[in-house]
Amino acid sequence: MSLALDVLTIVAVSAGAFFFLAGTVGLLRFPDALSRLHALTKADNLGLGLVVLGLLFQPEGLFAGLKLITVWLLTLLAGATVTQLIARTARPGGAQE
């Protein structure tokens, strides 16, 4: 049972790490701000989501699990807002503010 959970954790966290890596490469390689943001949000949302999912398989009580999910949701919220704000300034003609 615990072995199966461990395997699930390893798979999910590794997948999350992969998205972080991909996001970082995208951030460095993409040509303009908007596509960089696109890459970055993938790392944040999916990568962090998968890492959180993986950790949920390691039971440490309901409270700890809820905390992990809350962290993910808050990051989503902050990420989405900041991305939108940056995108607005980065859009041609959108820098006036």
Residues binding another protein (CB under 8 A) = 74, 77-78, 80-81, 84-85
Phi-psi category of 93—alpha, beta or left, where left has phi over 0 and alpha has psi -120 to 50? left
Q: How far apart are the first and last CA of the chain?
A: 56
Q: Of 33 and 85, which CB lies nearer to another protein in the complex structure?
A: 85
- Between 35 and 81, CB nearer to another protein: 81
User: Residue 79 CB, nearest distance to another protein (Å)?
Assistant: 10
Q: For residues 5 and 69, which CB has a smaller minimum distance to another protein in the complex?
A: 69
Helix segments in the chain, DSSP class H: 2-29, 33-42, 48-56, 62-90
Closer to another protein by Cβ: residue 35 or 84: 84
- Closest contact distance (angstroms) between CB of 81 and another protein is 4
CA-CA distances (angstroms) from residue 6 to 29, 52, 57, 97? 34, 14, 7, 50
User: Residue 17 Cβ, how far from another protein at the closest point, in Å?
Assistant: 15
